[in-house]
Structure 1
Amino acid sequence: MSESTQHTGHPEHGEHHGHDHHAPMGHSSTVTWRMAASATLHCLTGCAIGEVLGMVIGTALGWSNTATIVLAVVLAFFFGYALTIVGLRKSGLGWRELVRLALAADTVSIIVMEIVDNGVMMVVPGAMDAGLTSGLFWGALAFALLVAFLVTTPINKWIIGKGKGHAVVHAYHH
């Protein structure tokens, strides 16, 4: 058995899945932009659900910008992790392992995405105060999520290349 198959626990898959945490430095070259974009889109979906829901709830209740952003960030993490857990449920893993994998797969991606999209919302003049019926609010939010996707994708590519992030759940999707 080769060294790479000993570390992966999947001798039939070898290094194909990118789970060899002791892979050579060139390992990241096997990660495609498509893989990184797919992982980022997965995170973006959960973040967008949480962001939109948080912004809608906070704005509808007349909360301050700070309270609204805190709620949006908490919900973005919740839905980001939830989507990963739901996707892994058919793997037969227990809840503890599902949560551990979701945390390992999504935390860095969600942190970057939240910093970027909330930062963009804060710098677009009037976006946070525009209200739910305003095109400015929804346009700024869509723009913020797009910028977050564009910034996070290369970060996810690098993380996956290191055998981290979404690489840790890749084998469970097959």
Structure 2
Amino acid sequence: METVRGLLDSWVLVGAWATLAAACVAVLLRDLAHRNPEIAGMMKYVWVFTVAYSGPLGLWLYWKTGRKQIRRDSVWRRGARSVAHCYSGCGLGEITGIVITVGLLSLGNWWVVSTTFALAYVAGFALTVGPLMQEGVGLGEALRDAFYSETASITVMEIVALSVDLVLAGSATMAEPLFWASLIVSLTAGLAAAYPVNVLLIRWGVKEGMHDPREMARAA
């Protein structure tokens, strides 16, 4: 583990990743503007956050599952869009929680886990509840639907992400590259862990999965 930490503890690595992620976001924005402008506003934000968090992996997910140019849809592609939707909100909650509890306040693990979990649930649920209420669904029903469809995905994502971050970062502070590198690795680990969960939830009918981007294009 010390060897892994030594490799991650580099500002050059963090800077290179930030540059790569920014380039991936630029490619995404260009594609959304010129080749896929029909994609709904919420999903545009979802993909921007996903690519910002996971760089080339996020861009690959978008390219293979989120564009109207895909040849066909499948439960695997719906699962990818669904986990990206969850990831965009949970990632924001995780980053906020880690920065506050570890980076700024240097709190113990219990506070890190509880605060980050809470913020991840709030952000993740908000991305589900908000659109449902815009469609005319009542607050109570929207909250029940979010709890039923998103809890398993958020839980698995955060357990894995937080575990990886706490193991890798140790007592690193925001002034150390290891803090940021560990956060990058943990976010992508959470995404990978939650993907099969979303596929299963769609197969079992718990979630519908996000809309086929080709249908969005036809509707527009």
TM-score, with structure 1 as normaliser = 0.73
Of the structure 1 ranges 130-139 and 107-116, higher mean CA displacement relative to structure 2 is found in 130-139
Identity level (%): 34
- Contact 2:90 2:124 (C-alpha < 8 Å) held by counterparts: yes
Match of residue 208, structure 2, among 150, 154, 167: 167
1:65 equivalent among 92, 109, 113: 109
Structure 2 residue 137 is the aligned partner of structure 1 residue 93: yes
Counterpart selection for 1:54 from 88, 91, 97: 97
Aligned mates of 1:66, 1:131 — CA distance in 2: 17
**Partner SS, residue 107 of structure 2:** coil
Unaligned stretches of 5+ in structure 1?
1-29
- The whole-number CA distance in structure 2 between the counterparts of 1:134 and 1:111 is 28
Letter in 1 for 2:199: K
* Structure 1 segments of 4+ aligned residues over 4 angstroms from their partners: none
Structure 1 partner of 2:147: 103
SS in 2 for 1:167: coil
- Alignment of 1:138 onto 2:180: yes
Whole-angstrom CA distance in 2 between matches of 1:87 and 1:101: 12
Match of 2:193 among 146, 151, 161: 151
- Between the two proteins, the alignment pairs up a number of residues equal to 140
Q: Is the 8 A contact 1:104 1:168 kept in 2?
A: no
Asked if 1:83 corresponds to 2:83, the answer is no
Distance 1:168 1:88 in 2: 14
Which of the pair is proportionally richer in helix? 2
Offset at residue 129 of structure 1 (A): 1.5
Q: Do 1:35 and 1:157's aligned partners in 2 also have CA atoms closer than 8 Å? A: yes
Alpha-carbon shift at residue 136 of structure 1 (Å)? 1.1
Instruction: Please say if 1:45 is aligned against 2:98.
Output: no
CA contact (8 A) 2:82 2:209 kept: no
Deviations 1:122-157 (A, max 9, x none): 222xx0411123221111111111111112111211
1:129 aligns with 2:171: yes
**Paired AA for residue 208 in structure 2:** A
Letter in 2 for 1:130: A
Higher mean displacement: 148-157 or 56-65: 56-65
